[in-house]
Amino acid sequence: MAFVITSPCSFEKSAECVEVCPVDAIYSGNEMYYIDPDICIDCAACEPVCPVQAIYAEEDVPEKEKEYIEKNRDFF
């Protein structure tokens, strides 16, 4: 998995990340967006445009947000 969307996206759902993803790897869930790890090409285009700073490379997800790695996997 390349990038993970974390808790600041919950109920925020700004779509800037969706608009810049060149491979359409970001999907809308009920509460937030999720990045499909099988489609993501690790381009990082989504990370800097997120207005709530919710997107991290998996290895950089803060400790208190680690549960979102599993939530992303479960979504797909």
Residues 58-76 have pLDDT tens digits of 999 999 999 999 999 999 9
Alpha helix segments (H runs only) across 1-76: 16-20, 46-49, 67-75
9-29 residue pLDDT tens? 998 888 999 999 999 999 999
CA distance 76 to 65: 18
Question: Going from the N-terminus, what domains does the chain have, and what CATH number goes with each?
Answer: 3-75 (3.30.70.20)
What residues contact 41, with CB distance under 8 A and at least 6 apart?
2, 22, 23, 25
Q: Are 17 and 56 in contact (CB under 8 A)?
A: no
